[in-house]
């Protein structure tokens, strides 16, 4: 059964994450996402398997081409190689390629290592050659993601192999021999074959992420947290990881500023160096617990379960680790806009300027959609005007989902399963001409609602969020009072929910995608509320603001 199938409105789609080392080839695109055009599962499975094979072949060719280009670019012309400890240096390229091809055929294509023993005997009895053979096998198996070779099987293959270490340039992440892996003066890992192979941390992290459901909202948090963990600890054999390194990772997190990843991208400063600097404030306790602790905890449990018998320390845990940052619980919590603040925002000279210029249509519509839907900024920005804004029974709505077609630069996501929802478009937005704007960007072929804000690292919203934060400063509305801040688009969620609470409008949480008081099991039985019922809820919300009508 394929793990890369998703069903959207009765049609099966193929989705697969692009390997990190090949993202640049796809112009930053992180996911292959395409329609299979079929509705039955068996046919979709067959097409998905075919697509998987095609992608595997394509990625293998890309890696081979990249490796060849690098070798050709770094190879001095007419240079005769000099002897070196690394056998790659003095083997001729032609002999190397022929030898690797023969070994691959004899070893990697065999099902059992025992069969490869006989092939080794057929290839050669020469000790030096056999050690080179074994070096290639180790590297090729690691690159192919094969399981570690059992020590007893290696020893049985030939005593000559274990007589001396073999220099193997280790790919990252890969499988290494933790007990006897050393670094030669020339920077090449010298791998002895006398003890059990131990996976590197990078290998275990990749295994965890590759086997995690990438459509689940927590996947992105896991990827960010574990990538930083790998940078902090290093791609070492897992048997070398110590509890103090896990503690040091969380200590570093507590010294990082909010939105530290944006700072890393902007300045190029590594997170470890950023943590050494002084910052006005650090990550919040909520982010520490629900993004980082919540990612490392299941990773450690999974790693101990799967790799505990090959060296992963069974005593590693996050239990007892405490938040040590500067923020207090709830200090960054935003509040609702007050009436006077909404008037300043939507009836001020700045908004009049937005309405008078089609080039600032995005600035005009983003805050209004936030106000009348309470949607998260990324939910709004990733909306595809080609398919996510439509109508049922004459009711126009926004379909917040990660399962519809996305802009090729965007990997759609929702925070929780309950965040997938259809939200009717408020009559105020319709009266102001929102559908005319949608039709304009739709005809232009746009696959995101606001094309002027360029997606970043698979997300449609970073530039939009930054703009609105700056706009709050420009209008003098930004409020950094601890526990009741007004600093970004999220304040509109509070505003909508607060209105419902104070005006006796029930079930506003259905509009915003919050879970409410209903249990997960009950929600599963109930299904989603009908669009017509949601329309009745949303039309009870009436903010006392009069934004200028935009030109079309």
pLDDT digit string (tens) for the chain, length 552 residues: 566 888 777 778 888 888 888 888 887 788 888 888 777 777 888 888 888 888 888 888 888 777 655 555 555 554 434 433 333 333 344 444 444 444 444 434 333 333 344 444 444 444 455 555 555 555 555 555 555 555 555 555 444 444 433 333 334 444 544 444 444 444 444 444 334 478 999 999 999 998 898 877 788 899 999 999 999 999 999 999 999 999 999 999 999 998 888 888 888 889 999 999 998 889 889 899 999 999 999 999 999 999 999 999 999 999 999 999 888 777 778 999 999 999 999 999 999 999 999 999 999 999 999 999 999 999 999 999 999 999 988 999 999 999 899 999 998 988 887 889 999 999 999 999 999 999 999 999 999 999 999 998 889 999 999 999 999 999 999 998 888 899 999 999 999 999 999 999 999 999 998 755 555 556 566 678 999 999 999 999 999 999 999 997
Task: Determine the Cα–Cα distance for residues 448 and 408; give it in Å rounded to an integer.
Answer: 10
In this predicted structure, what is the pLDDT of residue 15?
Answer: 87
In this predicted structure, what is the pLDDT of residue 91?
Answer: 39
For residues 240 and 178, the answer to whether their CB atoms sit within 8 Å is yes
In this predicted structure, what is the pLDDT of residue 204?
Answer: 94
Show Cβ contacts of residue 483 under 8 Å, excluding neighbours closer than 6 positions: 330, 331, 333
**CA-based max dimension of the chain:** 88
Neighbouring C-beta atoms of residue 226, cutoff 10 Å: 22
In this predicted structure, what is the pLDDT of residue 191?
Answer: 42
Beta bridge partners of 166: 191
DSSP calls for 305-358: HHHGGGT--TT---TT----SSPPTTTT-B-PPPHHHHHHHHHSHHHHHHHT-G
Q: How far is CA 416 from CA 183, 224, 443, 512, in A?
A: 46, 18, 31, 12
Q: How far is CA 282 from CA 262, 323, 473, 479, in A?
A: 14, 11, 21, 18
Which of 144, 206, 141 shows the shortest CA–CA distance to 168? 141
Task: Determine the Cα–Cα distance for residues 6 and 412; give it in Å rounded to an integer.
Answer: 13
Task: Determine the Cα–Cα distance for residues 331 and 304; give it in Å rounded to an integer.
Answer: 36
Q: How far is CA 119 from CA 67, 112, 267, 381, in A?
A: 28, 11, 53, 58
In this predicted structure, what is the pLDDT of residue 430?
Answer: 97
In this predicted structure, what is the pLDDT of residue 185?
Answer: 41
Which tokens is 159 given? 């005593």
Show Cβ contacts of residue 197 under 8 Å, excluding neighbours closer than 6 positions: 148, 149, 151, 175, 176, 177, 178, 310
Which of 368, 448, 362 shows the shortest CA–CA distance to 408? 448
Task: Determine the Cα–Cα distance for residues 451 and 455; give it in Å rounded to an integer.
Answer: 9
DSSP calls for 71-91: HHHHSPTTPPPPP-SSHHHHS
First to last CA, the chain: 49
- In the chain, CATH 1.10.443 sits at 339-540
Task: Determine the Cα–Cα distance for residues 141 and 118; give it in Å rounded to an integer.
Answer: 18
Q: What dihedral do alpha carbons 426, 430, 435, 436 form, nearest 10°?
A: -160
User: What are phi and psi for residue 342, nearest 5 degrees?
Assistant: -65, -40
Which class in CATH covers the domain with range 339-540? mainly alpha
């Amino acid at each position: 059964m394929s793990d890369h199938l998703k069903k959207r409105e009765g049609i099966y789609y193929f989705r697969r994450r692009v390997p990190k080392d090949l993202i640049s080839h796809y112009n930053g695109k992180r996911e292959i996402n395409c329609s299979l055009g079929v509705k039955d599962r068996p046919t979709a499975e067959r097409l998905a398997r075919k697509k998987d094979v095609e992608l595997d072949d394509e990625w293998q060719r890309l890696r081979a081409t990249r490796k060849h280009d690098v070798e050709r670019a770094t190879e001095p012309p007419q240079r005769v190689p000099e002897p070196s400890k690394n056998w790659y240096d003095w083997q001729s390229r032609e002999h190397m390629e022929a030898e690797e091809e023969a070994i691959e055929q004899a070893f990697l294509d065999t099902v059992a290592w025992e069969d490869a023993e006989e092939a080794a005997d057929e290839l050669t009895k020469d000790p030096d050659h056999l050690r080179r053979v074994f070096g290639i096998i180790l590297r090729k198996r690691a690159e192919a993601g094969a399981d570690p070779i059992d020590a007893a099987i290696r020893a049985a293959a030939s005593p000559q192999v274990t007589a001396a270490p073999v220099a193997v340039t280790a790919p990252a992440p890969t499988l290494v021999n933790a007990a006897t892996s050393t670094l030669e003066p020339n920077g090449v890992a010298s791998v002895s074959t006398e003890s059990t192979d131990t996976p590197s941390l990078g290998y275990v992290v990749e295994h965890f992420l590759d086997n995690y459901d990438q459509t689940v909202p927590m996947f992105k948090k896991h990827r960010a947290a574990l990538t930083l963990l790998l940078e902090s600890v290093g791609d070492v054999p897992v048997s070398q990881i110590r509890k103090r390194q896990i503690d040091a990772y969380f200590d570093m997190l507590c010294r990082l500023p909010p939105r530290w990843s944006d700072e890393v991208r902007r300045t190029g400063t590594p997170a470890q160096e950023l943590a050494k600097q002084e910052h006005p404030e650090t990550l919040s306790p909520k982010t520490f617990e629900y993004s980082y602790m919540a990612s490392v905890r299941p990773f450690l449990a999974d790693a101990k379960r799967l790799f505990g018998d090959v060296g992963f320390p069974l005593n590693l845990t996050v239990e007892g680790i405490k938040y040590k940052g500067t923020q207090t619980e709830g200090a960054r919590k935003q509040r609702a806009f007050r009436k006077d603040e909404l008037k300043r925002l939507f009836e001020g000279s700045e908004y009049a300027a937005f309405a008078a210029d089609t080039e600032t249509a995005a600035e005009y519509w983003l805050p209004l959609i936030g106000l009348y839907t309470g949607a998260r900024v990324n939910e709004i920005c990733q909306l595809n005007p080609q398919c996510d804004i439509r109508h049922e029974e004459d009711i126009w709505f926004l379909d917040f989902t990660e399962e519809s077609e996305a802009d090729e630069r965007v990997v759609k996501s929702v925070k929780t399963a309950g965040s997938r929802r259809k939200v009717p478009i408020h009559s105020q937005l319709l009266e102001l001409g929102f559908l005319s704007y949608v039709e304009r960007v739709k005809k232009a072929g746009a696959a995101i609602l606001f094309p002027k804000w360029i997606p970043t690292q698979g997300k449609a919203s970073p530039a939009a969020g930054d703009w609105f934060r700056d706009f709050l400063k420009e209008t003098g509305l930004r409020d950094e009072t601890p526990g009741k801040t007004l600093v970004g688009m999220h304040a509109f969620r509070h505003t909508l929910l607060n209105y419902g609470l104070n005006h006796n409008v029930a079930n506003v949480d259905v509009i915003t995608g919050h879970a409410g008081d209903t249990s997960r099991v009950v929600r599963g039985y109930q299904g989603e509320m009908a669009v017509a019922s949601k329309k009745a809820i949303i039309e009870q919300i009436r903010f006392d603001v009069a934004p200028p009508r935009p030109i079309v």
